[in-house]
Amino acid sequence: MIIITGAAGFIGSNMITGLNGAGYSDLVLVDDFSRPDRERNYAGKKYRQLVDRRGFPAWLREEHRQVQLIIHLGARTDTTEFDWEVFLDLNLDYSKELFSLCVEFGLPLIYASSAATYGLGEKGYNDAHSVVPDLQPLNPYGRSKNEFDHWVLGQERKPFFWAGLKFFNVYGPNEYHKGRMASVVYHAYKQIEQTGGMKLFRSHRPDFGDGMQARDFIYVKDVVEVIIYLMQERPESGLYNLGTGEARTFKDLVTATFRAMGREPAISFIDTPEDIRDTYQYFTQAEMGKLREAGYRLPFRSLEDGVEDYVGSYLKPNKVN
């Protein structure tokens, strides 16, 4: 039996599809299932049971003998939320409880960290454990993820296998419910569909042209493949970056979206809002050496291939994965 927390969400629901495709159907899905807007993310998929996230620790104490692995993807991911108590509850205390239960019951754990831990990238994007105490996240979300990583590394007792994955900019199907936190691909598709054009933030730095701000964009199907690899192969435990290792510009991303929609690019620029201008990231790029050294050999999809699949297979037909 495999547990997936955050199973009704974006990455979690893609995880269900990926596991089903790999022959795994004995799954227990954990989340807040009270939201009808996310039901389509898990409808029709193969699983054993739904468990409410608040009742999951008690459920695990009763059923742990049947569990082979926990994939902990559930979290509050809103980077614009500044109430620390929200993140303390959902991202820190809850994750610590699950980690401790995995230690107690001898269960392997794969959990979602985030590239938001790297802040403005002053220390680079190196997933070495030694840099974690010195990282300076820009918001409470990133702080919560970094504090959990730091706490995990400081534990004397850990699960016999664990991996914390620092997700970079993940995009792909099943993110329609995320509102402003959905990927730029999703928002570009909607804006292009409604207006025929796309507005990007203007650069406010002389070393970057407009639209040349860059991120490491990774397609959610690649994320799922990495998690399945770690689940099956169980290399050395630790923190792992999960991006493509190649930064691409927002102009590249939006151009790919126009092309996937069969339209000529029509891009304009607006000022970056002043309240986020000083902390706006102009470049992120994952160092992927550790994951490759751990034996992961599959190539990551190019931005163009990922956007083409996302737009053509899911956004245009209004389908979920």
Q: Which amino acids are annotated catalytic?
A: 141, 178
Cβ-count burial 291-310 (b if 16+ within 10 Å, e if not): beebebeeebbebbebbbbb
Per DSSP, helices labelled H in 91-219 are 94-105, 140-153, 184-195
Dump the DSSP string for 157-168.
S--SSEEEEEE-
Please report, for the chain, how many H helices and E strands are present, in that order: 11, 13
Q: Return the residue matching tokens 């290792």.
A: 245
Dump the DSSP string for 53-79.
GGGHHHHHHHHGGG--EEEE------T
Dump the DSSP string for 11-48.
HHHHHHHHHHHTT---EEEEE-TT-GGGGGGTTT---S
Q: How many CB atoms lie within 10 A of CB 262?
A: 9
